[in-house]
Amino acid sequence: MPQLANANASVVIDRLRAWKSESISQVIEHRGETTIVVPHQLLLATAKQCKEDPVLNFNQLSDATCVDRFPNEPRFELNYQLLSIPRLARIRLRTSVSGQQPVIDSLEPVWPGANWMEREIFDLFGIRFEGHSDLRRILLPDEFEGAPLRRDFPVEGKR
Partner 1 sequence: MVLNMGPQHPSTHGVLRVLLELDGENVVTAVPDLGYLHTGIEKSCEDKTYSQAITLTDRMDYLNPLGNNLVYCLAVEKLLGLEVPKRAQYIRVMMVELQRISSHLVWLGTHALDMGAMSVMLYCFREREEILKIFERFAGQRMMTSYIRIGGLALEPPAGWRQMVKRFLDMMPARIDEYEELLTNNRIWHGRLKGVGYLSAEKLIAMSTTGPGLRAAGVAFDNRKAFPYSSYEEFEFNVPTRTESDCFARYLVRVQEMRESLKIVRQAMGKISDQGPIKSEAPGIVPPPREKMKTEMEALIYHFKIFTEGFSPPPGEVYVPVESPRGELGCFIASDGSPKPLRVHFRGPSFVNLQALPLMVKGQLIADTVASIGTIDIVLGEVDR
- Cα 118 to Cα 12, 51, 66, 95, 121, distances in angstroms: 24, 18, 10, 14, 5
Is 158 one of the binding residues for partner 1 (CB under 8 A)?
A: no
CA–CA separation, 108 vs 17, rounded Å? 24
- One symbol per residue from 31 to 60: x for binding partner 1 (CB under 8 A), - otherwise; what is it? xxx-x-----------------------xx
- One symbol per residue from 114 to 133: x for binding partner 1 (CB under 8 A), - otherwise; what is it? xxxx--x---x---------
On whether the CB atoms of residues 15 and 55 are closer than 8 A, the answer is yes
Exactly one of 85, 98, 101, 133 binds partner 1 (CB under 8 A); that residue is: 85
- Cα 54 to Cα 12, 74, 87, 111, 125, distances in angstroms: 11, 33, 11, 16, 34
Phi and psi at residue 124, to the nearest 5°: -95, -20
Is 90 one of the binding residues for partner 1 (CB under 8 A)?
A: yes
Is 63 one of the binding residues for partner 1 (CB under 8 A)?
A: yes
Positions in the binding site for partner 1 (CB under 8 A): 30-33, 35, 59-63, 65-69, 79, 81, 85, 88, 90, 92, 111-117, 120, 124, 137-141, 148-149, 151, 153, 155
